[in-house]
Amino acid sequence: MESDQYEELCRCFIAEKEGLSIDKVVSTRIANPTRSGLPEYKHQIDLYWETGTEISAYINIANAKWRATEKIDQGDVLLLQQVRQKIAAHKAIIITNTGFTAGAVAAAKDEGIALHVLVPSLDVSQLPKGDRATIQIRLSELMMQSREPIWSHRVELRGLGFARDNIASSATGRGYETIKNPTYETKVIQTSTQRTATPPANKSVGRTETRGGFGGNKGGDFGGSMKK
């Protein structure tokens, strides 16, 4: 399987799991928040989709990584976390066919990134090459025709970032609607941004945030100002 074929398989997977139309899971490039005097650049996102309720919306991103044998390592997780922060995404996922190293799992638990193993169980020779829309149409047809799932799926980490996050497994691939003439255009999404490096107003001066709280105290003291 080639990387673009795998990315389209992952698009099918996300759409089915989230209950979305396939055209709602897009490949895109998102502009980095601009800073005065620095050059502009964009972040390439394999899969981008939005979910939410009547009162809130969530931005989700995923990296689809087809590998021959090697597992996803810690650096891949940390890179995705950096992109997630830059574009203010709420949820980030890595999907691969091989698995994850211990370092990758440790970093994902710390950063709250979900890890999934998705392995194709279809005859890859039936998939066209090159044109993503054609690949997607063929995948949709195979999903409708097959009595068995066209992938096997294992949840390595759900991305909650807590010790109670259990490993689970599942398989699916049925009940998917064939999408005719899908189009996936690369587009620039303007984030809430064009944020600058200037700190927001009305923030307490002198607070330095750490993972444990403020002012370097893991107990959550505010630089000692709350002590009596």
| pLDDT tens, residue by residue, 90-133 | 999 999 999 999 999 999 999 999 999 999 999 999 899 989 99
Q: Residue 72 and residue 97: Cα distance in Å, rounded?
A: 9
pLDDT above 60: residue 26: yes
Give residues with Cβ within 8 angstroms of 130, minimum separation 6: 4
- Tens digits of per-residue pLDDT, 149-204? 899 999 999 975 433 334 444 444 443 333 333 444 444 444 444 444 444 444 44
Q: Which of 46, 48, 1 is nearest to 151 (CA)?
A: 1
Q: Give me the phi and psi of 126, to 5 degrees please.
A: -80, -10
Domain ranges of the chain: 3-214
Q: Which amino acid appears at position 126 of this protein? A: Q
**pLDDT recorded at residue 188:** 46
**pLDDT recorded at residue 159:** 78
**pLDDT recorded at residue 34:** 84
**pLDDT recorded at residue 35:** 85
- Tens digits of per-residue pLDDT, 81-100? 999 999 999 999 999 999 99
Q: CATH for 3-214, among 2.30.30.90, 3.40.1350.10, 3.90.870.10, 3.90.920.20? A: 3.40.1350.10
Q: Are 106 and 141 in contact (CB under 8 A)?
A: no
